[in-house]
């Protein structure tokens, strides 16, 4: 389903101070992020064409669900926090989405979406859904056809759907390692992996808004990632800013959540070891935010350790 409806996104070389890596440009997807993969897979699996789809999102999953529903002839309501990126809200309005803004963060939006589902509908989680997880994994299968040989795959981590799907795909491939990168301000998946269960973590403001928030109770993603992921690391806000500037200097507009893998590489969290493929997962950053980041000096950002 995913391969039939989406063109492969390119893989390009990216020269870092510590060496060259490969960048998978899912920021070029039609909705501006990799999330369209999981949304297409999940909505295609819904048997009833008259079902009302409901989703909660910081923005990118909502865009993906709306676009997937349009392509498949379904109807969808998406709940997005009032604090969502202006770029993502504007894109949803351009799509004439059935949009509900609610709450001051992802968790409040999610609770409201689940209330709507209780009145009738099918909830499609941004990460805690087997079909979404399977769909997100298609980036790795696609990359394997574009990049020869084994590699370390570096992916952003929020709710863990992308990480879980990538890790499951890589489990039978001994020449592939998977590394997840969280924002230091929101480390729900690594905390759950360490504890062996979902635990609540503090969530601070972050440029990586698509990665922020606690996990649904009973989320399956930490258990799928545990034992299958080589490492989980985190990056700070100055490091994310630095990565956004670095990528923009090379002509790539990437949002905070999409830039965390490059942030980790630039900061020396993951020195290139063999072939590295880093997923640039999204481009939906507000113009004003990007302008402020590009206008600021990069002082105080640690270099490779």
Of 186, 118, 129, 138, which Cα lies nearest the Cα of 158? Answer: 186
Residues 5/40, Cβ–Cβ less than 8 Å: yes
Residue 302 domain flag:
no
* CATH number for the domain harbouring residue 63: 3.40.50.1100
Of 299, 134, 157, 144, which Cα lies nearest the Cα of 235? Answer: 157
CA dist 246 → 27, 99, 230 (Å): 15, 34, 26
Return the exposure string of 42-54: e unless at least 16 CB atoms fall within 10 Å of the residue's CB, then b: bbbeeeeeeebbb
Residue 305 domain flag:
no
Question: Please, which residues bridge with residue 98 across strands?
Answer: 77
Q: What is the DSSP string of 183-195?
A: ETTB-HHHHHHHH
Q: Does 209 score more than 70 pLDDT?
A: yes
pLDDT at 62: 93
Kindly state whether residues 115 and 219 are assigned to the same domain: no
Residue 300 domain flag:
no
Give the domain-ending residue among 101, 127, 153: 127
Tally of CB atoms within 10 A around 115 = 12
Kindly state whether residues 18 and 159 are assigned to the same domain: yes
> Which residues, 6+ apart, have CB-to-CB distance to 130 below 8 Å?
220
Q: Does 223 score more than 50 pLDDT?
A: yes
**Residues 186-196 pLDDT 10s:** 999 999 999 99
Kindly state whether residues 55 and 189 are assigned to the same domain: no
Kindly state whether residues 169 and 212 are assigned to the same domain: yes
Distance of CA 75 to the CA centre of its chain: 23
Q: How many domains does the chain have?
A: 2
**Residues 263-299 pLDDT 10s:** 999 999 987 779 999 999 999 999 999 999 999 865 4
Q: pLDDT-derived band of residue 305, with 50, 70 and 90 as boundaries?
A: very low
Give the domain-ending residue among 127, 145, 177: 127
Of 79, 72, 65, which Cα lies nearest the Cα of 31? Answer: 65
Give the domain-ending residue among 127, 161, 189: 127
Segments forming the whole domain that contains residue 221:
2-33+131-295
């Amino acid at each position: 389903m995913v391969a039939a409806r989406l063109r492969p996104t390119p893989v390009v070389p990216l020269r870092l101070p510590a060496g060259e890596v490969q960048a998978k440009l899912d920021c070029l997807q039609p909705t501006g992020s990799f999330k369209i993969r999981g949304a297409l897979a999940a909505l295609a699996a819904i048997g009833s064409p008259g079902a009302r789809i409901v989703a909660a999102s910081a923005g990118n999953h909502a865009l993906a669900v709306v676009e997937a529903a349009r392509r498949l002839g379904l109807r969808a309501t998406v709940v997005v926090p009032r604090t969502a990126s202006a770029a993502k809200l504007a894109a949803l309005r351009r799509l004439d989405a059935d949009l509900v803004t609610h709450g001051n963060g992802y968790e409040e939006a999610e609770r409201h979406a689940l209330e709507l589902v209780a009145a009738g509908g099918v909830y499609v989680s941004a990460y805690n859904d087997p079909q979404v997880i399977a769909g997100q994994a298609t980036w790795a299968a696609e990359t394997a056809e574009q990049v020869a040989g084994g590699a370390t795959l570096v992916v952003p981590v929020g709710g863990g759907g992308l990480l879980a799907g990538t890790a499951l795909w890589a489990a039978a491939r001994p020449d592939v390692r998977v590394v997840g990168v969280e924002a230091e301000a929101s480390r729900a998946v690594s905390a759950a992996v360490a504890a062996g269960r979902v635990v609540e973590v503090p969530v601070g403001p972050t440029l990586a808004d698509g990665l922020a928030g606690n996990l649904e109770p009973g989320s399956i993603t930490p258990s799928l990632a545990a034992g299958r992921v080589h490492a989980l690391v985190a990056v700070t806000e100055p490091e994310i800013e630095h990565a956004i500037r670095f990528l923009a200097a090379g002509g790539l507009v990437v949002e905070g959540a999409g830039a965390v893998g490059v942030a980790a590489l630039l900061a020396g969290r993951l020195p290139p070891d063999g072939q590295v493929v880093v997923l640039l997962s999204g481009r939906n950053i507000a113009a004003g935010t990007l302008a402020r980041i590009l206008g600021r000096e990069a002082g105080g950002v640690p270099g490779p350790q």
